[in-house]
């Protein structure tokens, strides 16, 4: 009797272990699901539509995940806390048109780049904010922690007003409490296209050089970083990047490095 009970206990224990491994993604029962921190209000790159996170960045990441054998669960967050969330393990991946700056590389590691872009100032029509010199003394809205926040902070005499998301800043610009809203050009243009009756225009615009948009991962997660780079390279090579890009960017040409057969946009992480 004691021997039989021992065998039953061993079988139950083994079953529990199997369930534990499956829950942690350690079995062959299914693909590992990774948490992705993203935003919900920055089309065409990252946004929420009919309850689904989409946009160029997120659809590209879905394709990479499928190629590399994992699944993704998107979670909305504020940009100001995204990289800390990735570094601290709250998110496995950050997907939010994140410019791969040297300062950010101190916190996280970046995949190779999947887009390049421009920073622009959305202003009231006729405001004539076409040059950096014209921005001094103006109230400039930014998303806290963004590259645009860094840009605006360097404008002599400007009063920088920080917001947790894009919608909040655009609302203030529309109400006239901001002189300019500093955003990625594609996001600014998308807002103008969606609000044709609002008397706004694009002002000063500058190219974001040498810091392509990339997916962020924890520095120690080299295996995931390699998978992202492998999947991205394959998506560039077979034209998938160009196809997905074309779905979301109708009037902006794709960088030649990311066109089918191109070399891609390599990102050199600190210490690499």
Burial class (CB in 10 A: 0-12, 13-18, 19+), 156: exposed
Please give the pLDDT value at position 248. 95
CA 70 from centre of chain: 18
CB hemisphere CA count around 33 (13 angstroms): 8
Distance CA 242, CA 122 (A): 28
240-248 helix and 222-237 helix, angle to the nearest 10 degrees: 80
pLDDT value, residue 143:
94
For 51, 106, 214, 232, the CA distances from 40, given in Å and listed in that order, are 10, 26, 18, 23
CA 88 to CA 161: how far, in whole Å? Answer: 27
pTM over 0.85: no
Q: Tell me how far apart the alpha carbons of residues 158 and 197 are, in angstroms, rounded to a whole number.
A: 28
Per-residue pLDDT tens digits of the chain, which is 272 residues long:
444 444 434 443 444 333 333 333 333 447 899 999 999 999 999 999 999 999 999 999 999 999 999 999 999 999 999 999 999 999 999 999 999 999 999 999 999 999 998 899 999 999 999 999 999 999 999 999 999 999 999 999 999 999 999 989 999 999 999 999 999 998 899 899 989 999 999 999 988 778 999 999 999 999 999 999 999 999 999 999 999 999 999 878 899 999 999 999 999 998 76
| Of the candidates 180, 194, 163, 133, the residue with the CA atom closest to the CA atom of residue 39 | 163
Angle between helix 56-68 and helix 240-248 axes, rounded to 10 deg: 150
Please give the backbone phi and psi of residue 98, each rounded to the nearest 5 degrees, phi first.
Answer: -85, 115
Question: Which structure tokens are listed for 19?
Answer: 């369930």
What's the number of CA atoms in the CB half-sphere (13 Å) around residue 253?
Answer: 4
Q: What is the pLDDT, as a whole number, of residue 25? A: 36
Judge if the upstream peptide bond of residue 214 is cis by omega within 30 degrees of 0.
no
| Residue-level pLDDT at 27 | 36
């Amino acid at each position: 009797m004691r021997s039989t009970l021992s065998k039953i206990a061993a079988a139950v224990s083994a079953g529990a272990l199997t369930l534990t491994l499956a829950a942690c993604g350690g079995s062959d029962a299914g693909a590992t699901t990774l948490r992705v921190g993203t935003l919900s209000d920055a089309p065409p790159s990252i946004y929420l539509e009919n309850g689904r996170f989409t946009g160029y960045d997120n659809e590209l990441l879905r394709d990479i995940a499928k190629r590399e054998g994992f699944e993704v669960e998107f979670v909305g967050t504020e940009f100001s806390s995204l990289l800390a969330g990735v570094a601290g393990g709250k998110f496995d991946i950050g997907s939010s048109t994140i410019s791969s700056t040297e300062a950010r590389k101190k916190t996280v590691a970046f995949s190779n780049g999947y887009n390049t872009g421009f920073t622009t100032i959305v202003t009231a029509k006729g405001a004539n904010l076409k040059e950096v010199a014209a921005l001094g003394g103006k109230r400039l809205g930014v998303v806290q922690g963004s590259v645009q926040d860094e840009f605006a902070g360097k404008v002599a005499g400007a009063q920088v007003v920080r917001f947790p998301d894009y919608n909040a800043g655009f609302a203030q610009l529309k109400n006239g409490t901001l002189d300019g809203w500093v955003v990625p050009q594609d996001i600014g243009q998308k807002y103008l296209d969606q609000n044709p009756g609002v008397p706004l225009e694009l002002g000063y615009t500058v190219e974001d050089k040498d810091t392509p948009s990339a997916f962020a991962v924890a520095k120690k997660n080299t295996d995931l970083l390699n998978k992202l780079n492998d999947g991205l390279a394959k998506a560039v090579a077979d034209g998938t990047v160009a196809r997905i890009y074309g779905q979301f960017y109708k009037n902006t040409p794709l960088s030649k490095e990311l066109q089918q057969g191109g070399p891609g946009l390599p990102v050199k992480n600190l210490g690499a």
